[in-house]
Structure 1
Amino acid sequence: MAECVHIAHKTVKSKRTHYLGQIALVEFDDRPDQAKRLEQARRAAGFESARAAAIRFDWSYDTYSQHERGERGLSRSAKRYAKAFKVSEAWLLTGETHSQPAVRDALIDDLLSLNPAHRAAVAALVQSLKKAESDEVP
């Protein structure tokens, strides 16, 4: 195998020489921002793949995957996706971060779905975190 390697400083009489160089693999994502946020929301919701999310929510896999790949606009389906992944529709469509009511509402819904003992445990955890955070601030 060593005799097949072209040594750059060696004199070559051929008109055609092969350049042995390095190829750098660059990750480039040219999908629309909506598609990127949709994937981000899916992953944050704990779904490893688009197929897993489509199966769980009974969506057409082909349509959902086209939305996530950016091959189709998702404005008509944004509300459904936002509700499923517990993000705001505005964030999914525009990237707005100040529309916290949808996130707050989703958290409240999750909290209310817990039994009373678990709700009390979550409340105690939140209080201890708030106390720890206030102790850190000088």
Structure 2
Amino acid sequence: MAYESFGKYIGAIYRHQQIIINQKLKPYGIGSGQYIFLIKIYENEGISQKELSKLISIDKTTTAKAIKKLEEEVYIYRIKDPEDKRYHKLYLTQKGKDFMPTLHRVLRGVTTILTDGMDDRQHKETIDSLKHMLKNAYEEVESLRSK
């Protein structure tokens, strides 16, 4: 049996999703590269930049750029860690907190666009399959790192 690559579809979906998210978040000064950081800071206020990079599995340079942009747009602010002056703790500003319902609404809307025409069973099976593939990919990457 010949297998068709999941990767080409997952990659294309991701790229198109990022285009949609970029357009929908443009009026707020946020790009598709920053919103995930905003969500994770919201979920983990007081997290350090280093911890944030690790949590999202994104390199420190990319994290620093996203944090800088979110700071410039006044969605977040930093406070020096009183226990370790080399690090900063990250928090949402009031603007950032007020924006979260809008961000969640935008992201739900994108999911609605992507799942249009799917019934509940198809949606669940797709999510289960994607979770399974992510688990496999994660385990393989961990295996490669340990070599």
TM-score normalized with structure 1 length: 0.29
Judging by fraction of residues, say which structure has more strand: 2
Flag the structure with larger Rg.
1
Higher relative contact order structure (alpha carbons within 8 Å, sequence separation ≥ 6): 2
